[in-house]
Amino acid sequence: VTQGENNLALCDTYPPDLVVPASMSDLELRRVAAYRSKGRLPAVVWAHPDPTNGATISRSAQPKPGVQNKRSADDERYLDELRRLCHGKRMVIVDARSKVAAQGNRVMGGGTELARYYENVELFYGNIANIHAARDALSSLQALCRDGSGGNTAYDGGATWLGKLEGTKWLSMVHAILASAAKTVDLVHYERCAVLVHCSDGWDRTPQITVLAMVMLEARFRTMDGFLALVQKEWADFGHKFDERCGHTDESGEDQRSPVFLLFADAMVQLLHQFPARFEFTADLLVALLDQLFACRYGTFLDNCFVKRDRKKIHAATAPLWWYFHEHRAKFLNGAYDEDEGPPLIPSLQPKNVVFFDAYFRRFD
CA distances from 71 to 63, 114, 296 (A): 9, 8, 43
Buried b (16+ CB within 10 A) or exposed e, 65-77: beeeeeebebbbb
Distance CA 117, CA 13 (A): 28
Distance CA 211, CA 220 (A): 12
The conformation of residue 233, written as its DSSP 8-state character, comes to I
- Known binding residue 199? Answer is yes
The side-by-side arrangement of strands in the sheet containing 43-47 is 43-47, 56-60, 194-198, 91-95, 121-125
CA distances from 261 to 51, 52, 233, 330 (A): 32, 34, 14, 24
Cβ proximity of 128 and 208 under 8 Å: yes
CA distances from 128 to 64, 174, 208, 218, 324 (A): 20, 9, 10, 24, 32
Torsion angle in degrees (nearest 10) through CA of 259, 261, 262, 264? 130
Give 242's contacts (C-beta < 8 A, 6+ positions apart): 235, 236, 248, 261, 293, 301, 302, 303, 304
- Known binding residue 202? Answer is yes
Cβ proximity of 95 and 199 under 8 Å: yes
Nearest CA among 58, 65, 87, 72 for reference residue 28? 72
169 — alpha (psi -120 to 50), left (phi > 0) or beta? Answer: left
Catalytic residue from among 11, 86, 199, 246: 199
91-95/194-198 β-pairing: parallel
49 exposure class (CB count in 10 Å sphere: 0-12, 13-18, 19+): exposed
56-60/43-47 β-pairing: antiparallel
- Known binding residue 284? Answer is no
- Known binding residue 131? Answer is yes
- Known binding residue 203? Answer is yes
Residue 86 appears among annotated catalytic residues: no
Distance CA 200, CA 74 (A): 20
- Known binding residue 130? Answer is yes
Binding residues: 130-131, 199-205
Binding residues for substrate: 130-131, 199-205
Catalytic (active-site) positions: 199
